Amino acid sequence: MSDQVAAPLDAAAASDAAFARISSQPFPQDIFAAPQLRWAVIGCGVIANQMAQVMALAGRPLAGVANRTIEKAQTFAERYGVERVYESYDELYADPSIDAVYITTPHNTHITYLRQALAAGKHVLCEKSITLNSAELDEARALAHEHGVVLMDATTILHMPLYQELVRRMNTGEFGQMNLAQVNFGSFKEYGDLTNRFYNPKLAGGAMLDIGVYALSIARLFMASQPKELVSLANRSTTGVDQTSGFVTRNAEGQLGVFSLSLHSKQPKRAMISFDNCYIEATDYPRADHATIVWTSDGRREEVRAGEEGYALAYEIADLEAAVAGDADKLKLLDYAADVMEIMTRLRYEWGVYYPEEAELAAAAGVEAAGA
């Protein structure tokens, strides 16, 4: 009988396992450094539960929760000691005691909540994919600027200490020129009912917005500029959303990104970032807390650790609070997210993948929106 431990089968199981590893430890005192904000969450799904768990562990229970179904919000509040359940989203937005809102609902609903929360003067952390497309993100950024609040993308890669440390070292010149990123992400989602979230165009399904955002984000962090050249192929599911794809990107500096995504074939979540002097390999990279550097000159392997996977949601909260306090590096994270969103939007449209909310754009392109 093998003594090897099987990897968790899905992201939720992996997150549960990561949280179990840290749940009995004292909460690190160096995660939250900026002035504390009062937070509310919109939605009561997996991510909202993870946020509530880690905030409770930090001794910072949520101040409020709003959900489409108030009964779920009440159950959520009782479970995590949330101070207040709002009977409507408008009631949340109108509450002057709430400083920041975390939006955890499906992709295609984000822009509605973003418009309302930002216009109400709330800082917003929004779950990936932050919007459906670049036009929506441009609108949200303009609203944040108009109302003097911070908007932040919750894609974990932008917030994990591991990548912040590796980018810091890259910027010193230690690694040499970055040349190539090779990034895989494959999940196996059962076909079964093809109207489930992953394949449902009415819930903005498809591999690009669900997992491609991670692959593109890690590559973009290590690139000198946004890739402008794109070459790609994709297969669509019977519901019209992208299911499997391969694409290559190149920026003005000649740095290449090579990506493969699938919603119906398991493959390792592996990122390989190659430089003149070394390459970095990170597995299970969306919330990675360790990576390996292999040095070109002598083949030496260096193990790098920073942060802890189980605190992923805490790092997101801390980064928004730091941005509100004026941290320029944290404020700049949305620029990376915007670059990634532009690439995702271009690729989807090249593949003819338009969501019902994009029906007018689809008609102008001479195609039918998925799920229309």
Q: What DSSP string describes 99-142? A: -EEEE-S-GGGHHHHHHHHHHTT-EEEEPSSSSSSHHHHHHHHH
Do residues 350 and 357 touch, judged by C-beta distance below 8 A?
A: no
Peptide bond into 129 cis (omega under 30): yes
Q: What are 303's strand-pairing partners?
A: 292
On the CB side of 6, CA atoms within 13 Å amount to 5
Class of residue 87 by CB neighbours under 10 A (exposed 0-12, middle 13-18, buried 19+): exposed
Structure token digits, residue 232: 């790609």
Nearest Cα to 195, choosing from 139, 157, 241, 226?
241
> Phi, psi (5° rounding) for residue 183?
-135, 130
Task: Give exposure, 149-175, as e/b (b: 16+ Cβ within 10 Å).
Answer: bbbbbbbbbbbbbbbbebeeebeeeeb
Nearest Cα to 343, choosing from 109, 110, 203, 133?
133
Strand order in the sheet with 64-66: 84-85, 64-66, 39-42, 100-103, 123-126, 151-153
Looking at 128, 189, 269, 330, which residue is catalytic? 128
> Phi, psi (5° rounding) for residue 83?
-65, -45
202 is catalytic: no
CA distance 109 to 107: 6
CA distance 100 to 122: 5
Q: Which residues are catalytic?
A: 128
